[in-house]
């Protein structure tokens, strides 16, 4: 009996090429993202009920085929219709930019950024068994918000710094100052859909 059982166990553990292909397939690895090695062996047995693989064997298989434990990238998956609309809007936007260039307009790209004491780097190079220490007063600058614009022709342009979050009125004042800076040349603005960009005072 023991001899017969041993032969059955060996047969159960003999994997064919299709099993290796399944284990190493990119789609399988994606579906199993976040699973422990033990969980992966269970999932394999559910897929192939007459086969089993040990945790150590699976690990060796991974290492032998250069499958390493790496950081998982997270991405937002768009539904097909949403992606199609996105592509159409992107193409329309590129056409608008090309039309603006043909008309001789100055295209200005504008955005905002926020700074606080949390904006400093929390990790940096230091010697073994030691950590860098800085005086908080040396790096703490309080809260700042910045509106900045740049062009392909002249690079970074007008910059305005505020000690609080930018409002629609701040953005309106920025545009007024920007118009005075560029003169009478026709301008096209490229911005995102931030709320302050769509305030009535800004549209006016």
- Confidence at residue 1, expressed as pLDDT on a 0 to 100 scale: 46
Average pLDDT along the chain: 86
| Percent of the chain with pLDDT strictly greater than 90 | 59
Q: Are residues 101 and 37 in the same domain?
A: no
In the block, which residue shows the tokens 């009996």?
1
CA dist 129 to 90, 120, 141, 142, Å? 50, 22, 30, 31
**CATH code where residue 109 lies:** 3.30.420.10
Which DSSP state fits 191? -
- Check residue 147 and give its pLDDT: 96
169 by DSSP, 3-state: which? helix
**Residue 129 in tokens:** 């068994």
How many Å apart are CA 40 and CA 2, to the nearest integer? 29
For 102, the domain range is: 92-121+136-203
Contact 120, 106 (CB under 8 A): no
pLDDT digits (tens, 9 = 90+) for 132-168: 777 776 666 678 899 999 999 889 999 999 988 899 9
Same domain assignment for residues 27 and 99: no
Would 74 be classed as within a structural domain? Answer: no
- For residue 155, tell me if it sits in a domain: yes
Evaluate whether residue 24 is within a structural domain.
yes
Contacts of 155 (CB under 8 A, 6+ apart): none
* Other beta carbons within 10 Å of 23: 24
Mean per-residue pLDDT, 163-191: 93
Considering the domain architecture, whether residues 167 and 97 belong to the same structural domain is answered as: yes
Across 116-126, average pLDDT? 67
The residue that leads in pLDDT, 129 or 150, is 150
- pLDDT, tens digit, for every residue of 1-55? 444 443 434 545 689 999 999 999 999 998 898 889 999 999 999 999 999 999 9
Q: Which of 189, 190, 186 is nearest to 105 (CA)?
A: 186
For residue 156, what are its two tokens? 């970074």
With CA atoms as reference, report the closest residue to 159 among 114, 110, 99, 88: 110
């Amino acid at each position: 009996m023991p001899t017969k059982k041993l032969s059955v166990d060996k047969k159960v553990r003999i994997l064919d090429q299709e099993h290796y292909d399944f284990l190493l397939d990119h789609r399988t690895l994606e579906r199993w993202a976040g699973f422990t090695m033990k969980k992966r062996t269970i999932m394999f047995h559910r897929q192939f009920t007459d086969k089993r693989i040990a945790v150590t064997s699976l690990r060796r298989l991974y290492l032998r085929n250069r499958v390493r434990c790496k950081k998982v990238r997270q991405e937002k998956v768009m539904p097909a219709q949403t992606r199609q609309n996105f592509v159409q809007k992107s193409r329309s936007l590129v056409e608008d930019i090309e039309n603006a260039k043909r008309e001789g307009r100055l295209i200005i790209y504008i955005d905002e950024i926020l700074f606080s004491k949390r904006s400093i780097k929390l990790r940096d190079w230091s010697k073994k068994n030691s950590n860098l220490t800085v005086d908080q007063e040396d790096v703490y600058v309080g809260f700042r918000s910045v509106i900045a614009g740049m062009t392909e022709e002249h690079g970074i342009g007008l910059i305005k710094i505020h000690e609080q979050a930018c409002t629609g009125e701040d953005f309106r004042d920025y545009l007024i100052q920007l118009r005075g800076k560029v003169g009478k040349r026709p301008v096209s603005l490229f911005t995102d859909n931030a709320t302050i960009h769509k305030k009535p005072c800004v549209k006016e």
